[in-house]
Amino acid sequence: MATVTREKFDNIIEIKNVTKVFDGITVVDNVNLAVRRGEFVTLLGPSGCGKTTLLRMIAGFELPTAGSIFLEKQDVTAMPPHLRPINTVFQKYALFPHLNVFKNIAFGLKLKRIPTGELDKKGKPVYRKFTKDEIAEKVERVLKLVGLDAYGHRDITGLSGGQQQRVAIARAIVCEPKVLLLDEPLGALDLKMRKDMQSELAAMHKNIGITFIYVTHDQEEALTMSDKVVVMTDGAVQQYGTPKKIYDEPANAFVADFIGESNILSGVMKKDFCVEFCGAEFKCLDKGFGKDERVDLVVRPEDIAIDAKRGMLEGKVVSTVFKGTYYEMEILAADYQFTVQNTVDRAVGETVWLSVEPNGIHIMKKLKTVNEFIGTVVDETLVAFGGGEFEFVNDGTYQKGDAVRVKVPFDKIELTDDEEDGSVGANVTQTFYKGSYYQVQVYTDDDADFFIDTVDEWDMNDRVGIKIKPEDIAVEHTESTELEHAQAADAADASAQAETEKEETEGAE
């Protein structure tokens, strides 16, 4: 398996409008993605974001509820895994303990059939098995590639975790798949071994030349090894691009918060190349926003300059920690606690001035500025939306069954520790520190999401209740077709899921 020149002009995998629903919960939500031949692409996101489910659909272990998957322009959505030229390396390597290293790697080759180039009497291609010499040659070649050329006759149980991981990779690539899928394969290794294997995996990819799709929740792994990174949350792709692009220019607050250390703030674009935050105006490199448009912005800790005498914002050092090559400080300025990284230490309690150059400020459009739902009037005082029923102020123009548009400001929602205290229960999925408040995103059991601005800090996966005062719920009439379209979409999703489950059941029988 000699070094190959990778051509990156064509897409080997195309994922089109793929959705996966489990028990009424959408875990992959209308994903569109194209992977070029020979690329190292990483699916990155927190636990439960849908990255492994997406990988399993590419492999064929799961069927999409909706959408299509193409491999080299061929629709493989319903094709079983063993017919796809794809191999997978799992976090648990699933090696055979009763076979030595050589036999573990050779296992797939012994089962594989290859065309002879001849046709039988019916005109169908004739297939044959690999010979022992062919198997030996291929196994020895990949053993050398993964640095285990002297380990062929060793027992699997006598290998270290890193060596077992290499055997698993060798077993996956020996059959020469067009795509190699890796589902958190370094998860069981210690920190030093993980870092060593990151470099080795990247080197293997360059030598082998095939397409790698890698799943991890580790940002450093993704940024270190990948040609492209797909950042996911809540089953959806938030951003797809090079590691540098995603780090330097995050698409939204989630990406900025998830990739590296970030200071995420709310601001106002005063005009092109000028943004206001923390009570001061800063020059930036962004344009194309509306005048006085509310925006999110990110400033990386290493992009903040500290001076004892002058700057844009006056602050006080709250804490300082030595991190080896730099000091990481928390500095309170204008009600926002900035994380700052600098090679010069500052004493706790010291007054300092902070400045940021224009290229250190990245402006992002807000995902939402208000919670908005399509709902239904239940009776004179109740309206149903977001998975629950809430009291509202009826001006007398709303009747039972009316389709309505509902708007609730972020800061008009209260979260409770006990979900029974609210009108609907939900799980916390994201929390962003915005200075004087936290912006929290929650999902109800009906898959509706709310954004809440609160002074209280909530942890990921906290179970909460949602309370809203009647006077804080803005209701307006809307066309019933909007509600019908939403209901029809839900019905279509449910129908597609039922059909998929039926096919899977019939297939199993």
The pLDDT tens digits for 289-339 are: 999 999 999 999 999 999 998 999 999 999 999 999 999 999 999 989 999
From CA 366, how far away is CA 410, in angstroms rounded? 12
Contacts 24+ apart (CB under 8 A), 378-386: 381/470, 383/473, 383/475, 385/448, 386/424, 386/444, 386/446, 386/448, 386/450, 386/466
- AA letter at 106: A
Using only the alpha carbons of the chain, give its radius of gyration. Answer: 27
Average pLDDT over residues 440-467: 90
The distance in angstroms from the start CA to the end CA of the chain is 40
Listed in sequence order, the residues at least 6 apart from 495 whose beta carbon sits closer than 8 Å to its beta carbon are none
Which residue type, as a one-letter code, is found at position 88? T
Is a pLDDT exceeding 50 seen at residue 492?
A: no
pLDDT of residue 2: 40
In this predicted structure, what is the pLDDT of residue 497? 47
404: its two tokens? 């309505």
> Left, alpha or beta for 366 (phi > 0: left; psi -120 to 50: alpha)?
beta
Provide the whole-model pTM. Answer: 0.75
| Other CB atoms within 10 A of residue 26 CB | 18
| pLDDT > 70 in the chain, percent | 92
Token code pair at residue 459: 């942890």
The percent of residues above 90 in pLDDT, for the chain, comes to 55
Output the six-digit token pair for 430: 């994201």
**Whole-number pLDDT of residue 480:** 53
Provide the Cα torsion 100, 101, 105, 107; round to 10°: 0
- Residue 375: other Cβ atoms inside 10 A: 23
CA 64 to chain centre: 18
Neighbours of 429 (CB within 10 A): 19
Helices (H), 464-479: none
What are 291's two structure tokens? 């005048």
Strand ranges of the sheet holding 40-44, from the earlier edge strand across to the other edge: 86-89, 179-183, 211-216, 40-44, 228-233, 236-241
Helices (H), 174-323: 191-208, 219-225, 243-248, 253-258
- Which helix (H) or strand (E) segment holds residue 388: the answer is strand 388-391
Q: Which residues pair with 440 in a beta bridge?
A: 431, 452
Alpha carbon distance 448, 500 (integer Å): 24
Of 196-205, 288-297, 346-355, least confident by mean pLDDT is 196-205
State residue 188's pLDDT score. 65
228 contacts 241 by C-beta, under 8 angstroms: yes
Residues 240, 401: Cα–Cα separation, whole Å: 42
To which residue do tokens 């009763």 refer? 98
How far is the C-alpha of 418 from the C-alpha of 187, rounded, in Å? 35
Which burial class, exposed, middle or buried, applies to 171 when counting CB atoms under 10 A from its CB (0-12, 13-18, 19+)?
buried
Q: Which of 426, 413, 333 is nearest to 368 (CA)?
A: 413
Q: Is the pLDDT of residue 142 over 50?
A: yes
pLDDT in tens, 359-372: 999 999 887 889 99
Q: Which of 390-404, 405-419, 442-456, 477-491 shows the lowest per-residue confidence on average (mean pLDDT)?
A: 477-491
Give the pLDDT mean for 42-68.
93
